[in-house]
Amino acid sequence: MEVTGVRKVTRSRARTIARICFALSVLCALLAGALGASLLLFPSRTATRKAQPVVVRQQPAPIPASEQDAMEVSATARQFTGDLLAHNYADMWSLLDPRKQAQWPGEAAFATFWKGRFQDFTLQGFTLGKVRSLSFWVDPETMATYNNVEELPVSLQLAPRPITHLLPLPPEDAHPDQIYRNLPFVVRKILNRGDKGDRWLVLDGGPADLEAPILPPFVTVERTVRVPILMYHYTSTVPANDPDPALRASLSVSPQMLAAQLDYLRASGYHSITLNQLMNALYYGAPLPARPIILSFDDGHEDNYQYAYPLLKAHGFSGVFYIITGMVGWQGQMTWPQLRTMLANGMQIGSHTVHHVDMGSVYLASPAQAQQEAQVSQFTLEKNLGIPIQHFCYPNGGPFKSGSLVLREEVVAMLAADGYVSATTDPGMTGDLQNSLTPLALLRIRVDGRSSLSFFIQTLRAYASL
């Protein structure tokens, strides 16, 4: 399959990012040595308790809303989005559900964020789709479940402000209309007594929501936040007939051990966040909860659906799953219905190429083939899941485990040209300090299946003390 119309992005900007990534990788290597063996964890016989089963809740097919509800929900969406265009942030705030307001330090912080979020764009108008009823909706930022909500798609018309002194823009900034289409606007009804009537409160603001597609700022900002991104693969024990049991053991965290690790994270006050939350914090200073963390799972193994996903839900955590699109539906891999179920229950999905190739090695052999791996994976996920895909994960860490600075520059430029706004590495490079200057080289901490719970705890504490 060939994808045409490759979007262009400045190579100078990408080279700057890559040079910073290279310098960061040197520092991270030194840090990894100080923490011990680059965080490759060691075997242990530490006992863990059994994981408890969790009921997976599947979203039934949506149904059309009643005529009255549809009119009221559309009016709420029109008011909320109209307030965004008019910069009436106080009115937007008044329409938010109290639990959504609680995610912000206050109304002033909310207003400051949205003023900065679209400062580089002219908001021209919006269109609304049809209202439909959902039996439940899960907030990926808090993992709170809301029953019996209404949803409608909102498309925002916006354009970049004219600029003459900056380098060419990345595609999501140059053509934001392409990704700000049919974004879900979600509300719930609050029944009031007396003469005040019922109210509709906003749970997901569509274009005016932290989970809306990321638009990087035109002018580079430098900001760092400490967010550990844990890296998992299999959620299982090692099969008796595995051809490489040592490698498989390092990649396999048992459900019992994962449950124990999540117990520790929850008891220690960690809160999972989405990649969009991270990028909004880096670019625009969006608030993050205390002790933010991201739990990432590579390759799309079916045991992630069977064990990791229910355990995450049971502990109130979200997770991001990087999918090899050419393997979806294979034996031992997740299926499209399973991925859609996880999305409906607060999980996130990112690209992990079509064939799980080392992007550095493939790019050296054929830049066109590397381009196809990035583009086709992104296109396939968007087509089957109905969401923009802006997040990528380097299989085997290439080109950031090895490879020249120039090679890293070229791969970063290619991903940026495809509209990816973040990419996570595979240690080698490791750490928890995420930098707005290196969005396509976000650092992760590998969780080795041979590690003990105590070493897992010591590793997180070591980073937290830095």
DSSP per-residue codes, 184-235: EEEEEEE---TTS--EEEEEEEGGGSTTSPP---SS----EEE--EEEE-B-
Q: In this predicted structure, what is the pLDDT of residue 37?
A: 36
- What DSSP letter does each residue of 421-464 carry, written as one string? -EEE--SSSB-SEEETT-TTSB-BEE--TT--HHHHHHHHHHHH
Query: Domain for residue 269, yes or no?
Result: yes
Q: How many CA atoms lie within 13 A of 91 on its CB side?
A: 13
Q: In this predicted structure, what is the pLDDT of residue 48?
A: 36
Last residue of a domain, one of 175, 208, 241: 208
What single DSSP character describes residue 301?
A: B
335 and 447, same domain (yes or no): yes
- Cis peptide leading into residue 53 (ω within 30°): no
Q: In this predicted structure, what is the pLDDT of residue 164?
A: 60
Q: Cα 419 to the chain's mean position, in Å?
A: 14
Query: Domain for residue 176, yes or no?
Result: yes
283 and 313, same domain (yes or no): yes
Assign 3-state DSSP to the chain and report helix, strand, coil percentages, each to 5: 40, 20, 40
Gap between the Cα atoms of 147 and 458, Å rounded: 39
Last residue of a domain, one of 208, 238, 264: 208
The CATH number of residue 374's host domain is 3.20.20.370
Per the CB < 8 A criterion, the answer to whether 56 and 310 are in contact is yes
391 and 457, same domain (yes or no): yes
Burial 305-319 (b: 16+ CB within 10 A, else e): bbbbbbbbbbbebbb
Query: Domain for residue 449, yes or no?
Result: yes
Gap between the Cα atoms of 79 and 91, Å rounded: 9
147 and 221, same domain (yes or no): no
> Which domain does 196 fall in, by range?
63-208
- The pLDDT tens digits for 342-388 are 999 999 999 999 999 999 999 999 999 999 999 999 999 999 999 99
Gap between the Cα atoms of 392 and 415, Å rounded: 8
What single DSSP character describes residue 177?
A: G
Tokens of 215: 């638009």
Burial, 328: exposed, middle or buried (Cβ in 10 Å; 0-12, 13-18, 19+)?
middle
Per the CB < 8 A criterion, the answer to whether 81 and 123 are in contact is no
List the end-to-end C-alpha distance of the chain, in Å, as a whole number: 47
242 Ramachandran zone, left/alpha/beta (phi>0; psi -120 to 50)? beta
Q: In this predicted structure, what is the pLDDT of residue 351?
A: 98
Provide long-range contacts, Cβ within 8 A and 24+ apart, for 18-22.
18/405, 18/408, 18/409, 18/412, 18/413, 19/405, 19/409, 20/435, 20/437, 20/438, 21/400, 21/408, 21/412, 21/438, 21/440, 21/441, 22/405, 22/408
Give me the number of domains the chain comprises. 2
Gap between the Cα atoms of 442 and 392, Å rounded: 10
Query: Domain for residue 6, yes or no?
Result: no
- In this structure, the dihedral spanned by the alpha carbons of residues 320, 321, 323 and 328, taken in order and rounded to 10 degrees, is -140
222 and 364, same domain (yes or no): yes
Gap between the Cα atoms of 400 and 412, Å rounded: 10
Packing angle of the helix pair 453-464, 11-35 (nearest 10 deg) = 120
pTM of the model: 0.89
312 and 457, same domain (yes or no): yes
Considering only CA atoms, give the Rg of the chain: 22
Question: Which residues are CB-contacts of 311 (< 8 A; sequence separation ≥ 6)?
Answer: 51, 54, 235, 255, 258, 259, 262
Gap between the Cα atoms of 390 and 378, Å rounded: 8
Last residue of a domain, one of 180, 208, 236: 208
221 and 204, same domain (yes or no): no
247 and 384, same domain (yes or no): yes
155 and 276, same domain (yes or no): no
Query: Domain for residue 379, yes or no?
Result: yes
239 and 297, same domain (yes or no): yes
The CATH number of residue 190's host domain is 3.10.450
Q: How many CA atoms lie within 13 A of 202 on its CB side?
A: 25
Q: Which of 398, 377, 383 is nearest to 300 (CA)?
A: 377
Burial, 25: exposed, middle or buried (Cβ in 10 Å; 0-12, 13-18, 19+)?
buried
Backbone torsions φ then ψ of 427, nearest 5 degrees: -50, 145
Q: Which of 273, 277, 254 is nearest to 265 (CA)?
A: 273
Per the CB < 8 A criterion, the answer to whether 414 and 388 are in contact is no
359 and 274, same domain (yes or no): yes
pLDDT-flagged residues of the chain (< 50)? 1-11, 21-53
17 and 137, same domain (yes or no): no
Q: Hey, is 129 helix, strand or coil? A: coil
Per the CB < 8 A criterion, the answer to whether 442 and 434 are in contact is yes
Query: Domain for residue 5, yes or no?
Result: no
Q: In this predicted structure, what is the pLDDT of residue 198?
A: 80
Q: Cα 122 to the chain's mean position, in Å?
A: 26
What single DSSP character describes residue 133?
A: E
Query: Domain for residue 2, yes or no?
Result: no
